[in-house]
Structure 1
Amino acid sequence: MTTPCSEGPSTGGRFAGKVALVTGGARNIGLAIAVRLAAEGAAVAVNGPDEQEAAEAAAALRDGGARAVACPGDVSDPAQVAACVARAVEALGGLDVLVNNAAAAMVGRGHLFDLDPADWDRSFAVNARGTFLCTVAAARVMPAGAAVVNISSVGATRAHRSAVAYDASKGAVEATTRATALELAPLGIRVNAVAPGPVINDRYELLDAAQKHARVRPVPLGRMGDGSDVAAAVAFLSSPDASFITGQVLTVDGGLTAQIRPPGTDPSLDRPAPDPAHTVAGQPQGPAS
């Protein structure tokens, strides 16, 4: 498990006095989000399907000075979701931010003809149903001014190869984001989503150097994202700085989805970036006299 950073919580941060629940918060992007919210003053409830892992993540946050509890459970199960929300409210005193990060990460990846309906169902059970269940349970106890942030994927709008179930479920997450934003707006609860692109996680770390390079090559900013990139976007959308933003999806992908064709598809256009010191109005300068 990735360990939280050593930076302690801020007593005067944007989330001072607030309580956040992060589903799937014990590892990877979810843990980075929990760490970021805690660093800005939030008390954090860490959800995850593995009880020990969630407990370890919460303990690590407490070691860093934050108030934190574990509320393990399967987000696709209404009873477990209700228990998790109740645990967060009872232990931490309320609920102001919900981050729906829990995901079945590309289960059953393969060709469409080989997709097991059970893998389709599991993708939707965790990614879409879980988002719905957690949002409803949290919204029942949230005050006006609260925020929900759903973690989607660039796969919701730009298909991965051989990931039909995952991409379809993330498309459902984005549709749910817009619909629930309208439903909860009269209560003063905002709902938005963050759609990460290529982000370093446990699976990425298992790749060899050539595979890692292949993942980075299409990204215009020239690097993989990491959990802190996504966490920063989540913190913004959860904060009063985004008080007039709801029903939106913020893409965090290093420019990946801004391009029509990635590098390598048209070699005549693949060239090194110009040196700003040797260009004028975008035109290369001649040799210095």
Structure 2
Amino acid sequence: MTAFQPPLTGRPLTRQHAIVTGASRGIGAAIAVGLARAGANVVINYRQNAEMAESVAAICRKFDVSAITLQADVSRADDVNRLIETATVHFGAPAILVNNAGVAHTGLLLDMTEQEWDMLMSANLKAPFLCTRAILPHMIRQQYGRIINLSSIWGLAGGSCEVAYSASKGGVIAMTKALAKEMGPSGITVNAVAPGAIQTDMLGHLSDEDLQMLAEETPVGRLGTAEDVANAVTFLALPSSSFLTGQILSPNGGYVT
């Protein structure tokens, strides 16, 4: 028996508490809404834009759940500890952590500065480490947890002119697989979602022609949506997904197989 039993309704995450980092817009916002739709109370973390985060919380509350916003730079240990402690005081022990916050970088490796490399690694790899380390004692005590990390197809396959980004997201995949082995005996699953080309601000640097070409190169014939990623995250968060751990689920429309 798991610590959380799905209710006899269409809301399998009822009475569970989730933290989503970087949830004020884009994929993170869609994930927060998806978890709320499934019945979870949601902590919406943001770094800068409080107004956008609150608008996401308002949408979540329409599903008759509690939703709060908490500011934190999740690449900073003090901020992360405050985020987890505040969320726990407000909701109780978190059952779901989604490490979504991250940044992108496009350019030749030769042109990349050491400062840019460090910033990318801090945002994309150090932040999931800090958040996971802070939340694990709570999950271990209750012998239940769902940790879901956001990677990328470039973490799987590597992307030209995205060497640092690919390296950081590949590190997320390695961390996911290793931690899943550590946490399995504690009833905690650790998985990653590695999206393909998703129509968000991260593709804002591409022209309409480039976006059209990318859609045509994707076997399903379209770019992904934030909701496509949110659906994958919600699936991995379910109590019934207890035998899935150390896995990389890649909603990419067949672009990478």
When the two structures are superposed, what TM-score results if normalisation uses the length of structure 1? Answer: 0.81
Say which is worse superposed, 180-189 or 75-84, in terms of deviation: 180-189
Once the two structures are TM-superposed, the CA of residue 43 in structure 1 deviates from its matched residue by: 0.1
Is residue 119–residue 165 contact of structure 1 (8 Å, CA) maintained in 2?
no
Normalising by structure 2, we get a TM-score of 0.91
Deviations 1:185-240 (A, max 9, x none): 22111100010000010244675432221121210010111011111111111112
Residue 128 of structure 1 corresponds to: 125
- Aligned counterparts, 1:79-228, within 5 A: 79-106=78-105, 109-142=106-139, 143-204=142-203, 207-228=206-227
Out of 46-55 and 199-208, give the one that drifted further: 199-208
Deviation of the 1:46 alpha carbon: 0.5
Higher relative contact order (CA 8 A, sep 6+): 2
Structure 2 distance, partners of 1:137, 1:12, is: 31
- Report the secondary structure of 1:220's partner residue: coil
Residues 151 and 203 (structure 1), Cα distance of their counterparts in 2 relative to 1, 3 Å cut: closer
1:63 CA displacement: 4.6
* Deviation per residue, 1:260-285 (Å, 9 max, x gap): xxxxxxxxxxxxxxxxxxxxxxxxxx
The verdict on how the C-alpha distance between 1:68 and 1:184 changes in structure 2, with shifts beyond 3 A counting, is same
- Once residues 198 and 68 of structure 1 are traced to their aligned partners in structure 2, the CA distance between those partners, rounded to angstroms, is 29
Q: Is there any run of 5+ residues in structure 2 with no aligned partner, and where?
A: 1-7
Question: Which residue of structure 1 aligns with residue 60 of structure 2?
Answer: 61
**Kindly tell me: are residues 209 and 27 of structure 1, through their superposed partners in 2, closer, same or farther at Cα, counting changes over 3 Å?**
same
Query: Rg larger in 1 or in 2?
Result: 1
2:18 to 17, 20, 24: 20
CA contact (8 A) 1:153 1:195 kept: yes
8 Å contact from structure 1 (residues 51, 73) kept in 2: no
State the match for 1:284 in structure 2.
none
Q: CA RMSD in A?
A: 1.7
Please state whether the residue corresponding to 1:193 is helix, strand or coil. strand
Partner residue in 2 for 1:275:
none
Moved more, 73-82 or 54-63: 54-63
Q: Which moved more, 1:170-179 or 1:233-242?
A: 233-242
Cross-structure match for 1:282: none
| CA contact 1:54–1:72 (8 Å) conserved in 2 | no
For residues 75-129 of structure 1, the C-alpha deviation after alignment (integer angstroms, 9 at most, x for no partner) is 11011001111121111222000000000122xx211111111111111101111
Percent sequence identity over aligned pairs: 39
Q: Secondary structure at the match of 2:158?
A: coil
CA distance in 2, matches of 1:160, 1:202: 18
Q: Which runs of 5+ in 1 are unaligned?
A: 1-9, 259-289
Q: Which amino acid aligns with 1:94?
A: A
